[in-house]
Amino acid sequence: MNDLTALRLAQAPHTLTRGLVLLFAFCCGAIVANLYYAQPIVELIAPSVGLSAQSASLIVSLTQIGYAAGLLLLVPLADLVENRKLMIGTAIIAAAGLLAAGLSSEPNLFLALSLLIGFSSVSVQMLIPLAAHLAPEESRGRVVGNIMGGLLLGILLARPLSSLVADHFGWRMVFIAAALLMLAIILVIALTIPSRTPTHKATYGQLMGSLLTLLRSQPVLRQRAFYQGLVFASFSLFWTVAPIELARHHGLSQTQIALFALVGAIGAFAAPMAGRLADAGHTRKASIVALLVASLSFLIGWGGVGYSVIGLALTGIFLDFAAQMNMVLGQREVYALDPASRARLNALYMTSIFIGGAIGSALGSPLYEALGWPAIVMAGAALPAIALVALLLGGRGR
């Protein structure tokens, strides 16, 4: 009986149903949204909790810093401890942080809670490697692509939903509702997500040390992280500055900007497509297309149509499509490198991507204020173009 049980466990990759994939996608989208709720409403939050206008951006920055720290310090544990318990534990902390943030009226406490929310929202990056582990090899790219579609929807819908809820019910309700959603996610994880105890044995210190070893020994990881880091920098650059451009030069209200952000959700359809292309062995060709589209999407914003809301919307759609496609193509390759190290590989891959995103966001406002929208177009087009040149000259797809 024990041998039979072991055999069934060994065949676990073939037990990932379509319903479970949809649950993974929903959970990923709901969890990652925690990072983006505050972005469009910092000007409402800051005076309410006693933060100055100059310090308001710290809310977003600390959330991203916390997420990067969680990627490096928590996500690798998924290669060491039972995955479901780890995800439930981090989700409980996230729910508590969101609820406390919704009730907070003290500036330093709110900033600390922003850091905690980012740090504890990394269970999404444990779910994706778990799905890759459960999926059969021949459909792993499609499964990861479908789940990444849910994640991108979470990113893109968080901003407009946050704006709309804040407009009608106040900014505190955004965080309270997010906390209640996290409680529902905890229940879903506890009842539906399969248990997985990794076979890898090491101390936490050894686990952290192995990150450098993986980074040095896996050129594909370095290449894909570099490509997607540049694309995500371009993505963050656009979505940081586009709302300012829409408000200043097109007269859109906060609610109208929230509705504009919904156009990016169309890009989520790229994820399943990318997964199927990767499964079929077209990773390199699809990567070239994704990087080319990402670069050219900004050129729509160069001419006359680019200075219309429609032109900006088209840039957003094509850029989101390309960013999502390249993300999934990279994940498919990275997850194939070493099944026993998927959580750590994912942590390194995603950390580099969010570093790129942070750089893009940081460049956005000063570049826009100094040189205007044309500078955003040139910088946004150049970043994925650099990745495309690197791909064509160097790292060939597996």
3-state secondary structure 65-88: HHHHHHHHHCHHHHHCCCHHHHHH
Query: What is the band of 12 on the pLDDT scale with cuts at 50, 70, 90?
Result: very low
- Mind giving me the DSSP string for 85-116? HHHHHHHHHHHHHHHHHHH---HHHHHHHHHH
Q: Which CATH class is domain 8-393?
A: mainly alpha
Quote the pLDDT of residue 267.
64
For residue 269, pLDDT over 70 is answered with: no
Query: What is the band of 22 on the pLDDT scale with cuts at 50, 70, 90?
Result: confident
For residue 109, pLDDT over 90 is answered with: yes
**Nearest-angstrom CA–CA distance, 132 and 269:** 19
What are the tens digits of pLDDT across the range 354-370?
788 878 877 877 888 88
Q: Which whole number is the average pLDDT over 105-122?
A: 93
Half-sphere exposure of 281 (CA within 13 A, CB side): 0
Report the C-alpha dihedral over residues 68, 74, 76, 82, rounded to 10 degrees.
-150
Query: What is the band of 306 on the pLDDT scale with cuts at 50, 70, 90?
Result: very low
**Nearest-angstrom CA–CA distance, 242 and 261:** 9
Question: Crossing angle, helix 254-261 and helix 140-169, to 10 degrees?
Answer: 170
Query: Which one-letter amino acid corresponds to residue 171?
Result: W
**Nearest-angstrom CA–CA distance, 297 and 353:** 20
**Nearest-angstrom CA–CA distance, 66 and 122:** 9
What are the tens digits of pLDDT across the range 325-381?
888 888 888 888 887 777 788 888 988 887 888 788 778 778 888 888 889 899 999
pTM value? 0.75
What are the tens digits of pLDDT across the range 230-247?
998 998 888 877 877 887
What percentage of the chain has pLDDT greater than the value 90?
A: 26
Average pLDDT, the chain: 82
For the chain, what percentages of helix, strand and coil (3-state, to nearest 5) are there? 85, 0, 15
Inter-CA distances, 122 with 81, 116, 217, 378, 394, Å:
15, 11, 25, 33, 32
Quote the pLDDT of residue 278.
67
What are the tens digits of pLDDT across the range 41-95?
877 888 899 888 667 767 877 887 888 889 888 888 887 888 889 999 999 999 9
**Nearest-angstrom CA–CA distance, 19 and 184:** 17
Phi and psi at 24, nearest 5°, equal: -60, -45
**Nearest-angstrom CA–CA distance, 370 and 297:** 22
71: CB partners within 8 A, 6+ apart: 122, 125, 347, 350, 351, 354
- The residue ranges of every structural domain in the chain are 8-393
